Amino acid sequence: MISFNLLVLVSLAYVAFLFLVAFAAERRAALGKTGWLRSSTIYTLSLSIYCTAWTFYGAVGYAARSGLEYLTIYLGPTLVMIGWWWLVRKLVRIGRTQRLTSIADLISSRYGKSTVLGVMVTVLAIVGTTPYIALQLQSVTQSIGVFAASSGEAWMPRDFNSAAMWVAVGLAVFTVAFGTRNLDAHERHHGIVLAIAVEAMVKLFALLAVGIFVVWGIAGGVGPTLDLIDASAQSQLRPIAGRWIGLIFVSAGAFLCLPRMFQVLVVENSDERALGTAGWAFPAYLLLMSLFVVPIAVVGLDLMPEGANPDLFVVTLPLSEGRQGLAILSFLGGFSSATSMVIVATLALATMVSNHIIVPSWLNARTPGAVVSGDVRRVVVISRRISIGMILAFGYIYFRLSGGGTALAVIGLVSFMGVVQVLPAMIGGVFWRGANRWGAGAGLMVGFTVWAWTSFLPSFGIDAAISHSVFENGPFGIGWLRPQALFGITGLDPFVHALFWSMFLNTTSFMLVSILTFPNPLERLQGAQFVNVFDYSSGARTWSQSAAQAEDLLVMAQRILGGTAAQETFRAEAKSQGKVGFLPDVTPDFIGRLERELAGSVGAATAHAMIGQLTEGTIVSVEDLIAVADETAQIMEYSSELEAKSAEQERTARALLEANEMLTTLSIQKDAFLSQISHELRTPMTSIRSFSDILRDGEVEDDVRKRFAGIIHEESNRLTRLLDDLLDLGVLESGQVQLNLGQGSLADVLDRAVIASGADTGKLKIMRKPANEAVVVNTDLDRLAQVFINLISNAAKYCTSATPQLRIIVREIGGNTVVDFCDNGEGIPNESQSMIFEKFSRLEDEGKAGGAGLGLAICRQIMGALGGDVTYLPGQGGAAFRVTLPQTQALAAQ
C-alpha cells in the first residue's frame, strides 16, 4: 500500500515547485524579460482555470449520473472561444482601453463609473464563488482521504477539517505573495499566470494518463470501450432538450462572467492577437480534458464496488488497480485544478472587494482634501491582502458548515447560474448604447433574487434554508411563489426552471427600466466608448477644463502608482507635449489618460472620484458630450490621420515656442551675464579696496585693524572662489574637461560630500539609507562629489523649514542608479523650475545665499560630462533634485 507520508511529501514538493516557478516568473518580469511570459500559449493555458476540481473529479461523477450531459459544460466555452470575434475580442479591447480590473469594474465603469453597481456585482460574485471555493477544498480533502483510507488510516471529520484549513492557509499565502505584489493591473501577475499554466499542463497530463490507462490498460482498446459504454446502464440516459440547451447557455455565460475567468481572459491579456490562438487551442484543451470522462465513468461503475463515489473514480480506479504512481499523478492533477481555481478566484474577488468596497469607503471617511495626503497605495495593498484572507476564510467556513455532502456538480451549476446574472448587464453594456445604470441595477437585483430563491437556497436541501411546506405551498401560502414552480408552472426540471425565470426576469427588467429611465452624461459617454470601442480605441475625454495643477496630480498619482511609475507617466506626457521635465500641461486628454492609468490600480469608480476631488468636479459638459459621443457619429468620420498630423504639428509648434522662449531668455541672460560678472567681481573688490585704503591712510586702532584685515582676507577668498567657478564652468562648457575616472563606492562619495559641505555639523538633518548606497560607481569620483556637495549645501542654505531635513535616496530606475536629494522646505515654484540650472539664476531672495548662482549650472555641466544628468523633481513636498548616474554597464565594459 502507498505510504500516506509519501503523498504528503510529494504534494509539498509540488507546492514548493509552484512557488519557485511563480518566483522565477516574477524575477524575469522584473528584469523586463516578459517575452514568452506574454505568449499566446501561456495565455491559453491560463484560461484552463475554467477546468476546476469540478471538471477533474466531478465530470466523471456527472457522466456516471447523467450520461453525455457533462459535455455541455465544455461546449459552452467552446462556443464562446471559437466565436471570439463577436464578444471576447470586444471585451478584451474594452478591458485594455479602460484599464478594467475586474468584472465588477466593467459593469461599474460602463454604467457611469457607478459605485453602487460595483458593490452589487462584487456581492453577487462573493455569494456565487464562496460555495465554489468550498467545493475545491472539499475535493482536495476527499482525495487525500482516499489515500489515507487506502494506507489503512481511517480519517475522522477532524482530519478533513484540518487538512482543508492547511490548504486554505497555503493558498492564502501564495495569493498574497504573488497577487498583491504590483498594484497596477496593467502590470499583470506573471508569477501566478505562469504557475497556473504549469498546473494546467499537469492536470491535462494526469487526466490523459488515467484515461489512456483505463481505455488501453483495463478495457482493452477503443472498440471494447465503446461496447462497454453501450452496454452500461447510463447509455439509457438521453439528453433532455431543455437542460442540454440551458447548460450550454449557462456554461458559456459563466465562462464570460466568472470573476476568475474575466481575470485571465480580459485583465491578464497582454496581446489581443493571443485570442486567435486561444480561439482554437482552448477548445482543443477542453476536448482533451473531456475525452476520457465517459470511459473512466463506465469502467469505474463496472469495476468499483457498489456505492463507491463516482466523483473520485479518477483517483480510486488507478489505486484499486494497484497503480500507485498513476494515482499520485492523478491526485496532483486534481490538486492543481483546485488550487489554480482558488488562487485566481480569490485574487479576482479580493481586487473587487478592495476596489469597490474598501477603498471607496476609506476615501469617503476622509475629508475631501485627503486625496493628496493619504497613502492610498498602502491602503489598497493591505485591503487586498485582508480581502484574500477573508474570502478564503468564507470558503473554509462554508466547507465546514455544508459538511461536504452535496454532489460536486450541483454546487457547480448553482454557482454558475448565480454569476450568469451579470450577463444581461454585460452584453447589454457592450452592444446596446441605450442600456443605463437603473436598468442594470434592476436586472441584477431581480436576477439575483430569483436565483437565490429558486436555485441557491433550495440547493442546501429541503428544510435546510427553505422549509418543506414552503416548497409545497409557497411562502405564506402564496402558491405561485413556490421556489421550484414560480407562477404555477410545474413539471419543469428545477435547473431549467430556475435558469429560465432568473434570466427572463433579469433581462426583461434590465431592458424595460433602461428604456424608461434616462442615463446621465457620463454614462452616455461611457456607453459610446464601450459599444463603439473599435472606432475610438484611445478612450474619450471625460473631463473638460480643469482647475487641477500638474503638481497636485503628480503628488496624488505618486500615492497610487508609486513614485517611479507616476514620474515616468508624467515625464512621457510632458515629452509628448514637447516639454521637458515632469510637469505636462493639464489638458482634458491628459486627465482622461491619467484617470485610466489610476483605474488600473483602484478601479474606474474610485479613480474617477479621486480625480474629481482634485479637479473640483468639472466633469463632462453637454458640449463635450456632443463633441465626443455625438450619436450622429460625426466624430467617426473624423479622419484619425488628420488628427495625428495636427497633433504632431501642435507638438512641433509647442516645442518651437518653448525653444524660442528659451532663446529669448538666454539672450537677455547673455547681456545680463556680463553685467552680472562685473557685479560679482566688483563687489568684493570694493570692500578690499576701501578697507586697504583705510589701513594705508590712517591710524587705526589695533583690534579694528585686525578686523578690517580679516574682511579683506575673506573678500579676496570670495573673489578666488568666484573665479574658480567661472573657470570651471568655462572648461566644462567647452567640453575640454579632463575626467579622472576611478572606481569607488557611492556611499563613500556621499560621506565625503556630507563632510565637505559642512552639513554634518550644521542645523540640517541628513537622512540616508546606507543599505541602498552599496553601489559601485565607475566615474570621476571627485566631480561626482562636487555635484553632491553643491546639492547638499544648497539644501543647507535655502531650506526654509524650522527643522530642515534632507533625504538622500539611492535607487535603481530602468537600469540607472539615481540619487534623489529631497528637502522639506518650500520647494521651487513651478515657473522657476526650468531656469534654476542656468548661470546666475539665483531665486528672488538673493543676497542671503552668498553664492553667485553658478552651482547648479556647474552641476548640470559636470553630470553631462560624466554621461548622467541632474534634474529637478517636482511633487516631493520640498525642493528635490535627482542625479542620474551614468549607465554602469557601459562603463563596466570599458
Partner 1 sequence: MSKPKRTEFLERSSYRQRRFRDGARLLPVVALVLMVLPLMWPRSAPEQSLTSSGIIYIFCLWMLLILCAYVLSRVLRLSDPVRDEEARTPRGGE
Partner 2 sequence: MGQRVLLIEDEPNIIEAVSYILSKDGWTVHTHSDGETAMEKVMQGVPDLIILDVMLPGRSGYDILRDLKAQETTADVPVMMLTARGQAKDREMAIDLGATRFMTKPFSNAEVLESVRALATR
Residues that bind partner 1 (CB under 8 A): 67-68, 71, 75, 78-86, 93, 96-97, 226-227, 229-230, 232, 234-239, 241, 244-245, 248, 270-273, 275-277, 279-280, 283-284, 287, 291, 294, 537-538, 568, 572, 576, 814
If the CB atoms of residues 637 and 701 are measured against partner 2, the closer one turns out to be 701
Q: 75 exposed, middle or buried (CB, 10 Å; 0-12, 13-18, 19+)? A: middle
CA 334, CA 311: separation in Å to the nearest integer? Answer: 11
Nearer to partner 2, 362 or 708 (CB): 708
Does 735 contact partner 2 by CB under 8 A? no
- Cα atoms in the 13 Å half-sphere on the side-chain side of 522: 21
Residues 745 and 777: beta-carbon distance below 8 Å:
yes
Query: Rounded to an integer, what distance in angstroms lies between the CA atom of residue 793 and that of residue 797?
Result: 6
The sign of the torsion formed by the CA atoms of 838, 840, 846, 850 equals: positive
682 binds partner 2 (CB under 8 A): yes
Q: Enter the C-alpha cell of residue 452.
A: 437565490
Q: Does 847 bind partner 2 (CB under 8 A)?
A: yes
Q: Which does 694 bind (CB under 5 to 8 A by kind): partner 1, partner 2, none?
A: partner 2
CA torsion angle for 776, 779, 785, 788 (degrees, to 10)? -80
Residues 513, 442: contact at Cβ < 8 Å?
A: yes
Please give the sequence-ordered ranges of beta strands (E in DSSP) within 255-371, or none if there are none. none
> Is 846 near partner 2 (CB under 8 A)?
yes
3-state secondary structure (DSSP) of residue 819: strand
DSSP 849-878: S-S-S-HHHHHHHHHHHHT-EEEE--SSSS
Find the binder of partner 2 among 690, 717, 720, 830 (CB under 8 A): 690
Examine residue 670 and tell whether it contacts partner 2 (CB under 8 A).
no
What gap in Å lies between CA 191 and CA 180, rounded to an integer? 11
Closest distance of CB 682 from partner 2, Å: 4
Residue 667, contacted partner among partner 2, partner 1, none, CB below 5-8 A by kind = none
Distance CA 822, CA 832 (A): 17
Q: Does 699 bind partner 2 (CB under 8 A)?
A: no
Q: Is residue 679 within the footprint of partner 2 (CB under 8 A)?
A: yes
Stretch that binds partner 2, among 193-201, 421-429, 488-496, 675-683 (CB under 8 A): 675-683
For the CB of residue 725, give the shortest distance to partner 2 in the complex, in Å: 18
Residue 697: name its binding partner from partner 2, partner 1, none (Cβ under 5 to 8 Å by kind): partner 2
- Cβ proximity to partner 1: between 116 and 245 the closer is 245
Q: If contact means CB under 5 to 8 A according to the sort of partner, which of partner 2, partner 1, none does residue 691 touch? A: partner 2
What is the nearest approach in angstroms of partner 1 to the Cβ of residue 634?
22
Q: Could you say which residues in the range 455-484 bind partner 2, by CB under 8 A?
A: none
Q: Give the whole-angstrom CA distance, residue 740 versus residue 579.
A: 34
716 or 887, CB closer to partner 2? 716
Instruction: Judge contact between 125 and 352, C-beta under 8 A.
Output: yes
CB of 691 to partner 2, least distance (A): 6
Q: How far is the CB of 782 from partner 1 (least distance, A)?
A: 26
Residues 368-407 that bind partner 2 (CB under 8 A): none
**Cα 713-718-724 angle, rounded to 5 deg:** 125
Cα(213)–Cα(206) distance, integer angstroms: 11
882 touches which of partner 2, partner 1, none (CB within 5 to 8 A by kind)? none
The three cell numbers locating residue 120 = 452589487
Q: List, in sequence order, every beta strand (DSSP E) within 258-395.
A: none
Q: For residues 671 and 760, which CB has a smaller minimum distance to partner 2 in the complex? A: 671
Binding flag, residue 683, partner 2 (CB under 8 A) = yes
When computed from its CA atoms, the radius of gyration of the chain, rounded to whole angstroms, is 35
93 to 298, 373, 531, 535: CA distances (angstroms): 44, 34, 11, 11
Residue 786's binding partner among partner 1, partner 2, none (Cβ under 5 to 8 angstroms by kind) is: none
- 693 contributes a contact to partner 2 by CB under 8 A: yes
* Residues across the chain: 894
Q: Specify the residue, 229 or 711, whose C-beta has the smaller distance to partner 1.
A: 229
By CB under 8 A, residue 697 contacts partner 2: yes
Residue 715 contacts partner 2 per CB under 8 A: yes
Strand partners, 818: 811, 884
698 near partner 2, rule: CB under 8 A = yes
Is 645 a binder of partner 2 (CB under 8 A)? Answer: no
CB 409 within 8 A of CB 65: yes
Rounded Cα gap, residues 614 and 552, in angstroms: 8
- The one of partner 2, partner 1, none whose footprint includes residue 114, by CB under 5 to 8 A per kind, is none
Residue number with CB closer to partner 1 (4 or 244): 244
In the complex with partner 1, the residue whose CB is nearer, 236 or 803, is 236
User: Could you say which of partner 1, partner 2, none residue 641 binds, taking C-beta under 5 to 8 angstroms by partner kind?
Assistant: none
Residue 845 in contact with partner 2, rule: CB under 8 A: yes
Question: 267-286 mask for partner 2 (x: CB under 8 A)?
Answer: --------------------
79 binds, among partner 2, partner 1, none (CB under 5 to 8 A by kind): partner 1
Examine residue 687 and tell whether it contacts partner 2 (CB under 8 A).
yes
Which three three-digit cell numbers place residue 385? 491582502
Residue 579 interacts with, from partner 1, partner 2, none (CB under 5-8 Å by kind): none
Among 691, 798, 821, 840, binds partner 2 (CB under 8 A): 691
Smallest gap from residue 794 Cβ to partner 2 (A): 19
Q: Indicate which of partner 1, partner 2, none lies near residue 760 (CB less than 5 to 8 Å, by partner kind).
A: none
Among 10, 229, 390, 711, binds partner 2 (CB under 8 A): 711
Measured from the CB atom, the residue of 80 and 119 that comes closer to partner 1 is 80
- Single-letter code of the amino acid located at 652: T
DSSP alpha helix (H) spans, 151-292: 157-179, 190-212, 222-231, 241-257, 259-262, 274-291
User: What is the nearest approach in angstroms of partner 1 to the Cβ of residue 79?
Assistant: 5
Nearest to 421 by CA among 123, 811, 795, 800: 123
- Least distance CB 245 / partner 1 (angstroms): 6
β 481-482/485-486 pair status? antiparallel
Residue 814 site contact among partner 1, partner 2, none (CB < 5 to 8 Å, cut-off depends on kind): partner 1
Distances from the Cα of 445 to the Cα of 105, 415, 437, angstroms: 17, 16, 12
Q: 766 in helix, strand or coil? A: strand
Identity of residue 397:
I
Closer by beta carbon to partner 2, 405 or else 829 = 829
In whole angstroms, the minimum distance from the beta carbon of 661 to partner 2 comes to 24
Which letter does DSSP use for residue 310 in this model? Answer: G
CB proximity list for 335: less than 8 A, separation 6 or greater: 11, 14, 140, 143
- Find the helix or strand (DSSP H, E) in which 329 lies: helix 324-353
Q: Which is nearer to partner 1, 584 or 684 (CB)?
A: 584
The distance of closest approach from Cβ of residue 680 to partner 2 in the complex, given in angstroms and rounded to an integer, is: 8
Only one of the segments 48-56, 121-129, 140-148, 670-678 lies at the binding site for partner 2 (rule: CB under 8 A); that segment is: 670-678
- The answer to whether 694 contacts partner 2 (rule: CB under 8 A) is yes
C-alpha cell at 514: 433602461
Taking the complex as a whole, how short is the minimal distance between the CB of residue 697 and partner 2, in angstroms? 7
List all residues 6 or more positions away from 636 whose beta carbon is below 8 Å from its beta carbon. 532, 535, 536
The CA distances from residue 783 to 634, 737, 787, in Å, are 60, 11, 7
Smallest separation (angstroms) from partner 2 to the CB of 852 = 13
Interacting residues with partner 2 (CB under 8 A): 674-675, 678-691, 693-694, 697-698, 711, 715, 845-847
